[in-house]
Amino acid sequence: MTVASKGSGSRRTVRDVVFVEGVRTPFGKARPDGIYAHTRADDLAVKAVRELLRRRPELPTERIDEVALAATTQTGDQGLTLGRSVAVLAGLPKSVPGFAIDRMCAGAMTAVTTTASAIAIGAQDVTLAGGLEHMGHHPMGEGADPNPRFVAEKLVDSTALVMGATAENLHDRFPHLTKERADAYGVASQAKYAKALANGDVTPDLVPIALRDPQQGWGLATADELPRPGTTVEDIAHLKTPFRPGGKVTAGNASPLTDGAAVSLLAAGDVAAELGLPARMRLVSFAYVGVDPEVMGIGPIPSTEKALAQAGLSIEDIGLFEINEAFAVQVLAFLDHFGMPDDDARVNQYGGAIAVGHPLAASGVRLMTQLARQFEQHPEVRYGLTTMCVGLGMGGTVVWENPHHADYSGHTTDASTNAEN
């Protein structure tokens, strides 16, 4: 802990927080015949934690100060204070605490920013943060009992609690965001994911998961189950519109129901240097903002504006974007607002959730892990961001700095070259 004395007490000095490593399971179909139909949700997170520790043997496990894990539906095999229960199941020292967190789709993102805040003020040095969602075992909203006052007192529109319906509302609010544009975006996501997979940009982040099926026996999940390579606009043009007759949201331009987990390792910049851990990204700023729940997909717009303002940056300073593709229309609304083309090369270079899936509370760390890899490939880019819309009308954004850039301002092992941000 870094402290500086002042008066009768002491003040902590804000420290750099760096993203050291991120891993995820292969993502599976949330169906009775999906790869994880007979796998426990918490075991997915356990495997991710163990893989993080395997990859970073220089980290003494007793140095881990917190395990924060998110899930949107915290019951059954993804309940019981996930952070603590997964820490114990993964074999961490009993001295390592943990907790569960919920901000629906931004659960893992919130786990990261919450523990990063503790690191920044010196209360913690090293944390594990992530999320999991087994939507096959626990469909979104399972067991929930929304207060009838939401609708009875017209606090929200009746569509606000159905995410696909909010995407249809977004199409209504911005009619220039057509189904044709959404379908084209969905097809492009599939193509970009297929290219990234072929280029070797996806598999290195995956944790193989042992499987057991009562009918088929043992197996090993090593690849994402959901992508549909070769998809064309013609293939998806006439898919059903499940949220509204004659609507615009289909399985071709929306993320599928998904099972999976993702976990990251965070550390203070000076602690990472002490332990020999790599700094793959530095956290610059973050913001969460509320919007009308009926059009929750616009959430990333104000959260990005707020995060950029806090960092003293503009949208032109961002060289790489990882935007969660809950629905294509939500990404298109973001791009239009900031004057970016639908096929902007800076956006979702490896494809997105429309192709790979969206296991709700896990997706935030998938975005971060992919951005970290893209930073390595693009040292000319100094800043990137991860952003997502969030159920019940919210948006979340995290701005990151690339340590491979020549003007990187974060902690370095040579204190004399550590510039002020």
The closest alpha carbon to 377, from 405, 347, 408, 348, belongs to: 405
Half-sphere exposure of 159 (CA within 13 A, CB side): 15
* Total Cβ atoms within 10 A of residue 151: 15
Strands 383-390 and 394-401 come out as antiparallel
Catalytic residue check, 389: yes
Q: Angle between the 82-89 and 41-55 helix axes, to the nearest 10 degrees?
A: 60
Give, rounded to a whole angstrom, the gap between the first and last alpha carbons of the chain: 20
What residues have CB less than 8 Å from 395, skipping those under 6 apart? 288, 289, 291, 296, 298, 299, 300, 301, 302, 303, 304, 387, 388, 389
Structure tokens at 353: 């959730």
In contact, 219 and 213? CB cutoff 8 Å: yes
Give the total residue count for the chain.
Answer: 421
Angstrom distance (rounded) from CA 340 to CA 332: 9
Choice among 138, 171, 389, 411 that is catalytic = 389
In contact, 256 and 358? CB cutoff 8 Å: yes
Choice among 105, 134, 137, 411 that is catalytic = 105
Catalytic residue check, 138: no
The closest alpha carbon to 122, from 11, 227, 28, belongs to: 11
- For 101, the 3-state DSSP assignment is strand
φ, ψ of residue 304 to 5 degrees: the values are: -70, -40
- For 65, the 3-state DSSP assignment is coil
For residue 321, the cross-strand partners are 347, 385
| b/e 251-277 (16+ beta carbons within 10 angstroms → b) | bbbbbbbbbbbbbbbbbbbbbbbebeb
- For 162, the 3-state DSSP assignment is coil
Q: Which residue type does 223 have?
A: A
In contact, 282 and 412? CB cutoff 8 Å: no
Choice among 137, 138, 171, 358 that is catalytic = 358
Catalytic residue check, 238: no
Active site residues: 105, 358, 389
